[in-house]
Structure 1
């Protein structure tokens, strides 16, 4: 059960989703730039819980030679760095709505021939398709109401190759609702789903691949 601050937080973002996609994107950019006024506001680089979440997420992946990876909502690039280390031969793209966060991501994981960062609102920006690994972690609940979640599910599905893998990670039990939109999209088949009862917040790691 989400705490009262979490519930108020979600209510705020559901209200934002009553705006047009462009208006919602503008306010999300301002909000996340404000949150990143100080480095690493969620302590993704130092908190033991976050580090454990990254480890179990990577272990959940089907063992494949991933070549093109995209991370939606990469923030300051902490997990992007973990992906670059785990898959040294892959091309990796991090996407985030906050330019302030991306400036720190570029300092943490320098852009080169195989790592790049894109400043974009995922709901309105058309990312390049044909990725064989797509990550979306702690992001969907910021999008608010049903229409936006359905749109996000379509966007995520469109990023995949025919044999690609999509991974979503969100707090449990809220993940059951959020990940249900990806199930309902109709083009994805769930291949694994694991709930981790790790304090302070249980979370679910769900993996899909395109239906044959």
Structure 2
């Protein structure tokens, strides 16, 4: 990763995006997103997880699909507007908890997880912040816990990193004596999915 990369995109960036458009990435309506969400849920190796953490839940479309697989699901986002819609969408799902939170500066250090979902978020961080987030996620993941990564791979001008840079950084943690092992993954023509497990 280039040390001269731009800084992590701030919460104000996302607040402005959601102010301009309630569903700026078409999470609710796009056939592409629908297929990707189905592939994401299908990639989970276990039928059930006791405690899960979804980073960057946005409008809660994926949250709603993850919830039946989770005893408790903490879903966070940096912006208030999408969280309000996510709460409405998942109002009947008592196992889902939403919080407004900005990583790496804020992190739910009071608990541990057996599933962490990082979908379409990692490329918003600078290289140093991605490294810091990775350390926090590894500390929060129980042994045998799984980390599911899904990211758009074409470069985006505004984003500090690409999806491939995010996934490659995490895959470096699977090298000999690393804390993670790679369970499986695949590359779509515009996104990449990898599932890792803490040793």
* Same fold flag (TM > 0.5): yes
Q: Paired residue for 2:103?
A: 122
Match of 2:114 in 1: 132
Q: Contact 1:153 / 1:181 at 8 angstroms: preserved in 2?
A: no
Matches within 5 A, 1:144-155: 144=126, 146-155=127-136
1:70, 1:111 → 2: CA distance?
Answer: 18
**Alpha-carbon deviation of 1:112?**
6.0
Structure-2 separation of matches of 1:61 and 1:139: 18
Asked if 1:36 corresponds to 2:28, the answer is no
Give the structure 1 partner of residue 148 of structure 2: 167
For the Cα contact (< 8 Å) 1:98–1:119, is it kept in 2?
Answer: yes
Q: In 2, distance between residues paired with 1:156 and 1:45?
A: 28
Supply the distance in 2 between the matched residues of 1:82 and 1:189 (Cα, whole angstroms): 25
TM-score, scaled to structure 2: 0.84
Q: Secondary structure at the match of 1:90?
A: strand
SS of 2:24's partner is: coil
Offset from partner CA, 1:21-47 (integer Å, 9 cap, x none): xxx6xxx21111111113211110110
For structure 1, which runs of at least 5 residues remain unmatched after alignment? 1-13, 18-23
Aligned equivalent of 1:193? 185
Matches of 2:137 and 2:167, distance apart in 1: 12
Residues 91-119 of structure 1, C-alpha deviations (whole Å, 9 max, x = no match)? 11111110111111111112764111011
Equivalent position SS for 2:49? coil
Q: 1:95 aligns with which of 42, 51, 76?
A: 76
Report the Cα offset of residue 164 of structure 1. 0.8
CA distance in 2, matches of 1:103, 1:16: 27
Gaps of 5+ in 2: 155-161
- Provide the residue aligned with 2:159 in structure 1: none
Q: How many pairs are equivalent?
A: 182
Distance 2:153 2:185 in 1: 12
Looking at structure 1, the residues matched to 185 and 111 of structure 2 have their Cα atoms a distance apart, in angstroms, of: 24
What's the CA shift for 1:165? 0.7
Q: Deviations over 1:127-166 (max 9, x none)?
A: 143211110011111102x211211211222221111110
Aligned CA-pair RMSD: 1.8
Aligned-partner Cα distance in 1 for 2:45–2:64: 20
Contact 1:33/1:101 (8 A) holds in 2? no
